[in-house]
Structure 1
Amino acid sequence: MTPTLRFAPSPTGYIHIGNLRTALFNFLYARNCGGAFVLRFDDTDRERSTRQFADRIETDLAWIGIETDRVVRQSERTHLYDAATARLKRLGLLYPCYESADELDRKRKRLAARGLPPIYGREALRLSDDEKQALEAEGRTPHWRFLLPNHDGDPAVTRRTEIHWHDLVRGPQTVDLASLSDPVLIRGDGSYLYTLPSIVDDGDLGISDVIRGDDHVTNTGVQIPIFEALGLAVPRFGHHNLITTIGGEGLSKRTGALSIRQLAEDGYEPMAVASLATLVGMSGAIEAVADLDALAARVVLDEVSASASKFDPAELDRLNEELVHSMAFEAARDRLFELGVPQEDAEAFWEAVKANCARVRDAAVWRDIVYGDGVGAVEGNEEDRAFLAAARDALPQGDLDSTTWKTWTGILKDRTGRKGRSLFMPLRLALTGLDHGPELAGLLPLIGRERTVARLGG
């Protein structure tokens, strides 16, 4: 059987780097084992889910380089969930409850005040048909809970019931069902919560492995009995640590924190984002990985840290600089053309300036310096003006090329006696208007003779 993994975002906002971590772990795991990768939109929340967010999620994943073998939408699969619901009701494993949210909250508080765990007491199972009809006559509509198999026939008397699995990330795991409330699968308005559609889809789509955040560990203990009740194969599960901000706050689609959309608009490279999202909290160095195949080779799930990993924007900046500084012209070409860099010497321009760019779009600064008219002769003292005049006279004839700078400065050194900073800095200031920047040997041919002479005061 082909290993099949999935990423299942809710299209209720823009995905952030924490969501991307989950997507990458599943996609890279599938790639490592020659499996398939499914993008499943959990869009049963009719009020908050939008096609606009779903389309943007696909765009963001494609920007990273994640390829999907299949895209499904839960909103188009309701008939499957209805059939599963009918089966659970026939088995007596799905029962109606009539408590309001306020009533449930008061029950939990009373239990907590007595020092008891806030577990639902299955009071609804003791309702007679007449009592149910009376509640419905009041206008109450039931929500539906799954009856956990944590009893010996009498649901009112629970016993310790351990669910075990070997987690792909965390190793052996155990959840005691007696410590949990029966999960609500269907809301009072008839809409499905996350759990049942997710289980039905995992079974129907042949999902073999589920890798998700460690906030789902307890959910897994609850979901395994539902898989079994529906006669579905139980996937292998892995629960990775979560990413927080540097201050320790959790990330949220609703706030747009570190959204992939924003990171792309801010000019970061896809592989800088993918490298950090994947490697933070793993053993080994966090480094800029060139492509997703190389990143897949770094993914060893049981080496993921058990504690939350903090996303440090400074790390992303560092990784981005590494990628930009080593970027081949072909990878930057189209963006350079969009910035207005002349096509005829764009490659030479990029090779000259990339080591001084933190992001590709920073090349616009050097475009203006090289080709613009805003750089003029530096106002200096009489000695500096005399030096620049001498430099103008010493400029070798003919086209300026990669050897011109060395020849030119050699002549100036012999004629003026200047060397080191006193020789190079006045030239840099005159030619670029800055006291730092790319090697002038590479910039000078791009600036050209006419602009060079004008900037020297000629």
Structure 2
Amino acid sequence: MSQVRTRIAPSPTGFLHLGTARTALFSWAYARHHGGQFVLRIEDTDVARSTQDSVEQILASMHWLGLAYDEGPIYQMQRLERYQAVAQQLIAEGKAYLCYCTPEELDAMRESQKARGEKTGYDGRWRPAPGKTLPAIPEGVKPVIRFANPQDGEVVWNDLCKGPIRIGNKEFDDLILVRPDGVPTYNFAVVVDDWDMAITHVFRGDEHINNTPWQINLFEALGAPLPQFGHLPIILGDDGLKLSKRRGAVSVTAYEEAGYLPEAMLNYLARLGWSHGDDEIFSRDQMVSWFDGEHLSKSPSQWDPAKLEWVNAQYIKAADDARLAELVRPRLLRRGLTVAPDAPLPGMCALFKDRCTTLEALADWLAMFFGPVQPAEADVAQHLTEGAKAALAQLREALVALPEWTAPAIGAAMKTTLAATGLKMPQLAIPLRVQACGRPQTPAIDQVLALFDRKILLDRLQGL
């Protein structure tokens, strides 16, 4: 095998959505598995809808996911001269031609075909042929450049995902290569790009299957090496309909904002359409070592938010506490909370991460250490009785006198209070949780209290 070169080529007409992120992951992993290269190309020929904000969002998404590219980003709009040159080459070789049909003529052509019950498509009226008289060139009409698609035979390829595919050339009309404004169409630009960039393997969504015969015919017309194609089944939303940029999809960066770890997102995306035995949780390096292009599913995958949360929870549990602290700190700051540089965030993360499915959920827990808490009225009424308040006041006195602020010392102070009041542990611990933490359930209360700034905690227990 020559050096493997794969690519991802999003259009900057919106955010990088999950289907494109999965395609990027598969393309990246395949290149890394084979010691090849991964290219990022920005397909920005839709000038009216492409935006710089979308470009920046795509680049941010790729960076967050950790899908480092070896070349790029390469922008199609910076390559217009190259597309024109290739188009003129095809015209000179009789493989492309100028077409002067107006939009009105094309509309009339389709309506006439519909009325006759025929398949709609360009009828080839400007396609040169021996003995054929072409229409007179109309004044003031800028031509498009069309590809003289083969009219007989069929296009055959062995898809990396779908297996053998055969489509007859009669199913396809003469593709527009270059629009009147000189901007290439998708199917033409992508072929020239993949040729120039020596792309060997193309993974993409299976909505592109009908584009592939045109592209294969173009590769052959140019005498260019043909990449191998792998068309991945669509991802369905939880409503069973296609998840896409225009319907139901959420941007990759939205998942970052919601508190998902990039390695969890990659793990989950990998399992949407690919498998390695029964492995559910695996590292990026493991995926690279396993991803040889086999075991790609031929069926659509269903996006399952609950499963993603479960995967993310596994990664949060296994994450280094210092790393979690750095990830959760800005989330606390965005809530307007003051977090001292020496705050024991790693210890807090260690204590609460097993209860969290996202970083936002972790920030929800840790917020109580840095800002006021508001226990539910029902919890206050049920647990903060007059007897409980008296016991908490007595515990506060014991906490004030502690020579050291540690979980064992706090636990000892609680036992002293229980002995003095005759209460059982739940009768003290639950009211304490409600007053100090704003909720009746937490991990071991002595460990939780030890993470508080002593003054904050004592202030919460004062004046009951």
Sort the TM-score into its range (normalised by shorter chain). 0.7 to 0.9
Please name the residue that 1:143 is paired with. 144
Q: Which whole-Å CA distance do the structure 2 matches of 1:106 and 1:408 have between them?
A: 89
Please name the residue that 1:209 is paired with. 201
Letter in 2 for 1:400: W
Q: Which whole-Å CA distance do the structure 2 matches of 1:148 and 1:331 have between them?
A: 56
Equivalent residue in structure 2 for 1:79, among 78, 81, 96 = 81
Please name the residue that 1:343 is paired with. 341
Q: Which runs of 5+ in 2 are unaligned?
A: none
Letter in 1 for 2:341: Q
1:399 and 2:398 are equivalent in the alignment: no
Look up the SS of the partner of 2:127 in the other structure: helix
Distance 1:52 1:370, change over 3 A: closer
Q: Which whole-Å CA distance do the structure 2 matches of 1:129 and 1:113 have between them?
A: 26
Q: Which whole-Å CA distance do the structure 1 matches of 2:39 and 2:260 have between them?
A: 26
Listed as ranges, the matches of 1:256-275 within 5 Å are 257-275=249-267
Please name the residue that 1:116 is paired with. 118
1:360 and 2:374 are equivalent in the alignment: no
1:233 and 2:225 are equivalent in the alignment: yes
Equivalent residue in structure 1 for 2:321, among 320, 329, 334 = 329
Please name the residue that 1:433 is paired with. 438
Residue 23 of structure 1, CA deviation: 1.1
Q: Which whole-Å CA distance do the structure 1 matches of 2:426 and 2:290 have between them?
A: 45
1:326-362 superposed Cα distances (whole Å, 9 cap, x missing partner): 3212322333444343333222222223234443344
Root-mean-square deviation over aligned CA pairs: 3.1
Please name the residue that 1:156 is paired with. none
1:211–1:238 contact (8 Å) kept in structure 2: yes
TM-score of the superposed pair, with normalisation by structure 1: 0.86
1:282–1:304 contact (8 Å) kept in structure 2: yes
Residue 61 of structure 1, CA deviation: 0.5
Residue 33 of structure 1, CA deviation: 0.9
Distance 1:452 1:52, change over 3 A: closer
Distance 1:22 1:87, change over 3 A: same
Q: Which whole-Å CA distance do the structure 1 matches of 2:156 and 2:132 have between them?
A: 37
TM-score of the superposed pair, with normalisation by structure 2: 0.85
Residue 48 of structure 1, CA deviation: 2.8
Letter in 2 for 1:219: N
Equivalent residue in structure 1 for 2:391, among 387, 390, 394 = 387
Q: Which whole-Å CA distance do the structure 2 matches of 1:117 and 1:437 have between them?
A: 67
Listed as ranges, the matches of 1:39-438 within 5 Å are 39-71=40-72, 72-125=74-127, 132=135, 134-137=136-139, 139-151=140-152, 161-253=153-245, 257-283=249-275, 287=280, 289-290=282-283, 292-297=284-289, 299=291, 301-338=293-330, 339=333, 340-344=338-342, 345-372=344-371, 380-392=384-396, 395=399, 397-419=402-424, 421-438=426-443
1:280–1:286 contact (8 Å) kept in structure 2: no
Q: Which whole-Å CA distance do the structure 2 matches of 1:333 and 1:388 have between them?
A: 31
1:185-227 superposed Cα distances (whole Å, 9 cap, x missing partner): 1223332101222111211111111111111112112211211
Distance 1:407 1:228, change over 3 A: same
Residue 179 of structure 1, CA deviation: 1.9
Q: Which whole-Å CA distance do the structure 1 matches of 2:393 and 2:324 have between them?
A: 38
Letter in 2 for 1:307: S
Letter in 1 for 2:353: K
Q: Which whole-Å CA distance do the structure 1 matches of 2:209 and 2:261 have between them?
A: 33
How many equivalent pairs are there? Answer: 446
Q: Which whole-Å CA distance do the structure 1 matches of 2:169 and 2:188 have between them?
A: 17
